[in-house]
């Protein structure tokens, strides 16, 4: 099992996690077996990003770590957790456009992929107010 055990700064943890993410994306993703073969790297990457997000004194580093963790969870089809990470990123840096667009894409997918769920005002209330459509029919 891969584990970075030395004491590192949040910015360093963020950088190492990004390297692990790049390493796992080099794998052949044409088969679901890749989730097993890259498990250790993806797990360590998520741990490092979570650590960087929680310990980061610099709000920009925390926001980026939360955003990247959300992106990693989204790539693993863990959409609810990804959405939570993106909203945490927005709490640290509301001007960051990446978690804004990612959370909107996630919510839009939830509405579009579920034919039984109408695009309702209650669903739209989850959207960040900066990006909310003017009318319920606009989504």
Task: Kindly report, residue by residue over 97-122, the tens digit of the pLDDT.
Answer: 888 888 888 887 765 555 554 444 44
Residue 130 has pLDDT above 50, yes or no: no
Considering the entire predicted model, what is its pTM?
0.73
Nearest to 139 by CA among 117, 113, 112: 112
pLDDT at 35: 87
Average pLDDT over residues 23-51: 91
Q: What is the mean pLDDT of the chain?
A: 79
Domain ranges of the chain: 10-138
With beta carbons less than 8 A apart as the criterion, state whether 7 and 52 touch. no
CATH number 1.25.40.10 is the correct assignment for the domain at 10-138: yes
With beta carbons less than 8 A apart as the criterion, state whether 66 and 85 touch. yes
* 87-104: burial string, b at 16+ Cβ within 10 Å, e else: ebbbebbeebebbbebbb
pLDDT at 101: 85
Q: How many CA atoms lie within 13 A of 95 on its CB side?
A: 2
């Amino acid at each position: 099992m891969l584990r970075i055990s030395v004491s590192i700064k949040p910015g360093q943890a963020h950088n190492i996690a990004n390297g692990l993410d790049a390493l796992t994306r080099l794998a052949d993703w044409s088969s679901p077996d890749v989730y097993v073969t890259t498990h250790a790297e993806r797990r360590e990457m998520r741990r490092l990003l979570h650590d960087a997000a929680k310990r980061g004194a610099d709000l920009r580093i925390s926001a980026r770590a939360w955003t990247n963790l959300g992106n990693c969870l989204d790539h693993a089809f863990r959409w609810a957790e990804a959405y939570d990470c993106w909203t945490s990123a927005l709490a640290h840096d509301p001007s960051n456009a990446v978690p804004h667009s990612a959370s909107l894409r996630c919510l839009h997918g939830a509405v579009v992929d579920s034919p039984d769920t109408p695009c309702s005002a209650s669903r739209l209330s989850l959207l960040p107010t900066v990006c909310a459509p003017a009318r319920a029919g606009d989504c």
